Amino acid sequence: MPTYTALTTLMGEDAANALAEAIEKMEPEPTGVGVFEIEDDSGLWEVGAYFLEPPNEVMLEVLALAFDAKPFALSELPEIDWVAKVRRELAPVEAGRFFVYGSHDADRVPADRIALQIEATVAFGTGHHGTTLGCLRAFDRLYGEGFRPAKVADIGCGTAVLALAAAAVLPDALVLASDIDEVAVDVAEANVAINHMDGRIETMEAAGFAHPRLAEAAPYDLVFANILKGPLVELAPDMAKHVAQNGLIILSGLLVVQADSITAAYVANGFTPEAREDLGEWSCLVMRRN
């Protein structure tokens, strides 16, 4: 069965949410509606809807006019085995000593690498995206320089690939992984089990550090936060409270054009820039707590 999509952009979160609510009342009904901020500081928001029947194009035109949105871009997605497609296209990723792979590539794991098995799922972080890759590379460099954190937190962990990397090379470290999304936490727990690290990584559902266990275990010597610009900026004061003096943070999920403003937010909260790597349009920052 094909899927039909309708996508548009408009200014402002309130307007985007209102448009999404209006789309949900359409006939035929959409199977899902999403609202996403475009992370380029433009103020634009994207509204997308998915339908199992061709959507009412006239109604979409009316809604676009009513909410001052751009005309909807309509498309039909063919029937595709997306899991098979993703598996074919997700080749293993090497980030220094780390080798991230799916089960379909188990026979390609080199003997001289630390293997992390991450399956293609709905949770973010397979190692292919520039943000996750940047974090892995940054951690690999720090580890190569002799950095051995005793307490590690992976905030917004997604698949938990970063927490798994830390646990793999830091056998005595306390490693916690949290995500605001319940599904992501389930995926993280599954990946912990797949990699035979049960008992090595504690997982929990939380927004930022808002969990009793995260507060109890602080301060941290290393914190990963691979999220988005807005949450990263909001997290800066809490990050300062939960990171040990001279502790390091690895930040990503941000565009190159956003790196300076995020750096400024953390400098204002007591951090000093240590390193930065740009991979395509994405940036990864390493900063030290003063």
Q: Is 159 annotated as a binding residue?
A: no
By C-alpha distance, which of 228, 187, 227, 226 is closest to 205?
187
Q: Is 34 annotated as a binding residue?
A: no
Q: Is 146 helix (H, G, I), strand (E, B) or coil?
A: coil
CA distances from 42 to 11, 162, 168 (A): 8, 30, 40
Q: Where are the alpha helices (DSSP H) in the chain?
A: 13-24, 57-66, 82-89, 130-144, 161-169, 182-194, 212-217, 229-242, 259-267
CA distances from 60 to 22, 72, 155, 159, 283 (A): 10, 7, 38, 36, 36
Tell me the two tokens of residue 216.
Answer: 């109890």
CB atoms within 10 A of CB 160: 31
Q: Is 221 annotated as a binding residue?
A: no
CB 156 within 8 A of CB 176: no
Q: Is 179 annotated as a binding residue?
A: yes
Give the Cα separation of 85 and 101 in Å (integer): 15
- Beta-strand pair 151-155/220-226: parallel
State the binding site: 132, 156, 179, 226
State the binding site for S-adenosyl-L-methionine: 132, 156, 179, 226
